[in-house]
Amino acid sequence: MNILIVDDEALARSRLRTLLSDCHADYNVQEAAHAAEALTVLQQRTGADIDLVLLDIHMPGQDGLSLAQTIQQMPNPPAIVFVTAHVDHAVSAFELDATDYLTKPVRLARLQQALAKVQRLPRAQGTVTPPVADNEASIVIQERGRTVRIPMAEVLYLKAEQKYVTVRTFARSYILDGSLSELEARYAEHFMRVHRSMLVARRALRSIEKHYDAEEGEGWAVRLQGLAELLPVSRRQVSAVREALTLQ
C-alpha cells in the first residue's frame, strides 16, 4: 500500500511512520508538511498512485477538511483517514466520507484497524465511499410535517424509548414511530442488538470494554466510531459483539 502522511508537525509524521513500520507490512510511505505539498505529491503520480492519505485537520493554510474535498475531486482518489487531536471534527470528517477517524496520540491497534478498513474497500485503489445511491438502504422519518430520508451509513444506533425509537446519527437524533424488533428484522445486515433497548450499526463498532453504570452496576459497553458516549451491552450479547468486532 502506498501511503501519504500529511501533517505540519514533523514529530507527528515521524510517529506515524514508526507505527506503520511496526505493522510489519509492505507500506511505501511519503510525507507532506502542508496541503500544497500533498497536492504536488498526489498530482505528480510518479511511480505507484497513493492508496491512502493519513491527513491532519489543523494545518497552516488550507486545512485538512478543505484538502480532503479537493482530493475527492481527483480521478480515482485515495482513501482518507483523518488523524487529529480534535474529536469535535468527527462529524465533519464523516460527512466528507472519510474511511476512518483517528485521534492523537494514535495507538498501533487503532491504526491497524483503519488500515484493514482501507484494504477492504471495493476498488483496487482505496477510494472514499461514494454518495448514497437512490436505491441504497435508508430510514424514512416523518418530522414536523416533512419527510426525511436518513441514509443507513449515517445511523449509529437505534434506541427504544417508551412509545418510539430514537435514531441517532453523527449529527443529531430523530424520533421514529415503530418497533425496535421490526427494525432489527428489516435491517439485520446493518444493525445488531447489544441490549434489550438498543441496536447499533455493525460498521460503527470500535471496541467493547468494562463499564460501570449507576443503575445496572458493573458491566460492558461498546464504543462507536464518531460517538463520545459508551452504550451498554447486556451480558448475553457480549460474545456476539466480540465476534462482530473480529469480523470487521
pLDDT digits (tens, 9 = 90+) for 29-68: 999 999 999 999 998 854 358 999 999 988 999 988 889 8
How many Å apart are CA 129 and CA 94, to the nearest integer? 10
Number of C-beta neighbours around residue 8 at 10 A: 17
Identify the pLDDT of residue 45: 57
Mean pLDDT computed over 123-129 = 37
Mean pLDDT computed over 145-170 = 86
Place of cell 492523537: 104
Identify the pLDDT of residue 137: 76
User: 217 or 227: which carries more pLDDT confidence?
Assistant: 227
For the 138-247 domain, the top CATH level (class) is mainly beta
Q: What angle do CA 183, 160, 248 make, to 5 degrees?
A: 60
52 contact partners, CB below 8 Å, separation of at least 6: 1, 2, 3, 4, 78, 79, 80, 81, 99, 115, 118, 126
Indicate whether 127 pLDDT > 80: no
Annotation: CATH topology of 2-119: Rossmann fold (3.40.50)
Indicate whether 244 pLDDT > 60: yes
Ranges of each domain in the chain? 2-119, 138-247
Cell triple for 5: 502522511
Indicate whether 170 pLDDT > 60: yes
Identify the pLDDT of residue 129: 38
Identify the pLDDT of residue 122: 52
Identify the pLDDT of residue 87: 59
pLDDT digits (tens, 9 = 90+) for 224-241: 987 878 899 999 999 999
Place of cell 462529524: 91
Cis geometry, peptide bond prior to residue 78 (ω within 30 degrees of 0):
no
User: 124 or 224: which carries more pLDDT confidence?
Assistant: 224
Identify the pLDDT of residue 166: 92
Q: How many residues does the chain have?
A: 248
Q: Which amino acid is at 44?
A: Q
* Neighbouring C-alpha atoms within 13 Å toward the C-beta of 56: 24
Q: How confident is the model at residue 242 (pLDDT cuts 50, 70, 90)?
A: very high
**From 1-15, 115-129, 218-232, the region with the lowest mean pLDDT:** 115-129
Decide the pairing of beta strands 52-55 and 2-6: parallel
Q: Find the radius of gyration of the CA atoms of the chain.
A: 19
How many Å apart are CA 30 and CA 60, to the nearest integer? 19
Q: Is residue 55 within 8 Å of residue 83, measured between CB atoms?
A: yes
Identify the pLDDT of residue 216: 67
Residue (of 82, 51, 83, 50) closest to 69 by Cα position? 82
Indicate whether 134 pLDDT > 80: no
**From 73-77, 94-98, 122-126, 209-213, the region with the lowest mean pLDDT:** 122-126
- Chain centre to alpha carbon of residue 128: 11
Identify the pLDDT of residue 126: 36
φ and ψ of 94, to 5 deg: -75, -25
